Amino acid sequence: METITWHDFEKVELRAGTILEVADFPEARKPAYKIKADFGLFGIKWSSAQITKHYTKEELPGRQIVGVINFPKKQIGPFMSEFLVTGFADENGDIVLTSVGQKVPNGSKLV
C-alpha cells in the first residue's frame, strides 16, 4: 500500500449528498442505476452506481451517501457521470454504499 500525505487526502472532495432520484440504466455493461444527488452548494449531480444487488430504486431516495465530486466527468455509455458513488465490496464483490450515520448538511466534507 502506498502512503499519502494529509495534503494529498485533502485534495479528495468526499462530500455528503442526498439521493433525489434513481433510474434504471439498461445500457450499462453491468447492472447499475443512474443516481441523482444533491450536494448542497456544489449542486445536483448524476452518477452511475452498480448497487442493484443490495438496493432497490424505491429505497434509495432520501438516503445520504458519500461521493467524490472533484473527479473529471466520465462518459459511461450514453451517460455522463459527474461524481463517484463510494462504497465497499461485500464478500461477493457487490457494492454496499458508504452512507452517513446521522443527517449532515448536503455538501459537507468528510474530515
- Chain centroid to CA 13: 12
Instruction: Give the model's pLDDT for residue 97.
Output: 97
Question: Residue 24: its pLDDT value, please?
Answer: 95
47 burial (CB, 10 Å; 0-12 / 13-18 / 19+) is buried
74-100 per-position pLDDT tens digit:
999 899 999 999 999 999 999 999 989
Q: Is residue 29 part of a domain?
A: yes
pTM: 0.94
Domain that holds residue 86: 11-97
Is residue 109 included in any domain, yes or no?
no
Overall average pLDDT of the 44-67 stretch? 97
Domain assignment present for residue 106? The answer is no
- CATH number of the domain residue 43 falls in: 2.40.50.140
> Is residue 108, in this structure, part of any structural domain at all?
no
Task: Report the pLDDT value the prediction gives residue 11, as an integer from 0 to 100.
Answer: 94
Rounded Cα–Cα distance for residues 94 and 25 (Å): 17
Quick one: pLDDT at residue 55?
97
Residue 111 lies in a domain: no
pLDDT at 27: 92
For the chain, the average pLDDT equals 96
Residue 3 in domain = no
Question: Which secondary structure element, helix H or strand E, spans residue 8, and what is its range?
Answer: helix 6-10
Mean pLDDT, rounded, for 15-41 = 96
Strand-strand pairing, 95-97 and 87-89? antiparallel
pLDDT of res. 50: 95
Domain count, the chain: 1
The stretch 35-51 carries a mean pLDDT of: 98
